[in-house]
Structure formats: structure tokens, C-alpha cells
Amino acid sequence: MTPSAADRMATMMRALAEVVLPAIDPANSLAVEQARLVLGHLAVLSGQGDEARLDALELASEQDLARQLLALPAGGPLSAAALANLATALAQSADGLLAASARRTVLRRALEELMRAASDDGSDSLRATSWRLGLAHARAQADRARVWYAAAGFESEPQISIPEMLNALEQARRPEELRL
């Protein structure tokens, strides 16, 4: 029987904490620091669980943002080209042959291109709405990242756990509407 990833992670953490760290010469501060850093990263990874679910939810969020932006009038030629590229990227992001993280990369590049083009020659509504929607999307994404990396200890008081966040996101109408 193959042990689960969680069991293997726990075994590695236990070996590092109970065997490797005590065997390191305390005078070798760099080795002690690096071993503790590895132990900390393993702790973060062990608490994160199903990264594929988070990637899928992030992809859905970015697809929703793309759809909202595609509904806006372009403006000049740069914005028109960027909107056309975004439409292509959105269609490609729905192709389930690639991992969600790879589909997200293509879509994010097209979204970034549109944001730059909108500031150059976008219609007034494209410029204003892309700014507003982009900021709302970035805030929601930052909130999700804060929860996802809470085990690293950067958040003094995490407001929600990873399973709670993933379940709440799956039930939200739009990921950006969820406030963590």
C-alpha cells in the first residue's frame, strides 16, 4: 500500500525535526537555519491540500473577469487587438487538455495586455471598468493567497482556513464577490 501524500509529508517533517535537526552542529547556524526553513515549507505544503482545486477556482475567477471585460467597447486599435487576443485566450482557457495553471498563464497574459492597452487607447468605459474590475479581482486574489499561505506565519490572525475558503469559493456565485 502506498502511503498518502499527507502521511509522507508528516514522515519527512518528523524525520527532519527529530533526527536531522538535532544532528546538526548548533555552531553551524546556516545549516540549522536552512533545515528549519525546509521544515517550515513542508509545514506550509502539508496544510495546503488540494492545489488543483485552488488553481481551478482561480481560473474560473480569471475567466469571469475576462468575460466581463469582453462585454465592453474597445476604443482604439490597441484595445481592439487586446480584446480579440483576450477572446482567444478565454476560449483556450476552457480547453481541458492543459492543466488549469497552464491555462491560467495564457489567460493572465491576455488580461495584462488588455489592461495596458485600455490605459493607452481604451474607450472611457473600458478604461474605467477594467481598472475597477482589475482591482477587485486583485484584492480577491490577494485575500485567497493570504489564506493559502497562512501557515507560513505571515498572517497574525488568519480569518479562515484553507478548506473553508475553498468550499466557500466553490459555492460563491463569483469568486470576486467573496470576502474572506
Per-residue pLDDT tens, the chain, 180 aa: give them. Answer: 677 777 888 898 899 999 999 999 999 999 999 998 888 888 777 766 667 777 888 888 999 999 999 999 999 999 999 999 999 999 988 877 777 778 889 999 999 999 999 999 999 999 999 999 999 898 888 888 777 777 666 666 666 666 676 776 666 655 555 555
Same structural domain, 83 and 123: yes
CA angle 125–89–165, rounded 5-degree value = 80
- As a whole number of angstroms, the distance between CA 121 and CA 144 comes to 32
Same structural domain, 55 and 77: yes
Domain that holds residue 34: 5-48
Same structural domain, 70 and 143: yes
Same structural domain, 42 and 109: no
Same structural domain, 83 and 101: yes
Indicate the Cα dihedral angle 39, 44, 45, 49, nearest 10°. 150
Could you tell me which of 159, 169, 134 has the C-alpha nearest to residue 53? 169
- The residues with which 122 forms a beta bridge, in sequence order, are 75
Same structural domain, 85 and 28: no
Same structural domain, 41 and 62: no
Same structural domain, 40 and 61: no
Same structural domain, 150 and 168: yes
Domain count within the chain: 2
Same structural domain, 139 and 99: yes
Going from the C-alpha of 2 to that of each of 9, 35, 50, the distances in angstroms are: 13, 26, 18
- The residues with which 75 forms a beta bridge, in sequence order, are 122
CA angle 135–133–160, rounded 5-degree value = 60
pTM over 0.75: no
Same structural domain, 67 and 149: yes
Same structural domain, 132 and 67: yes
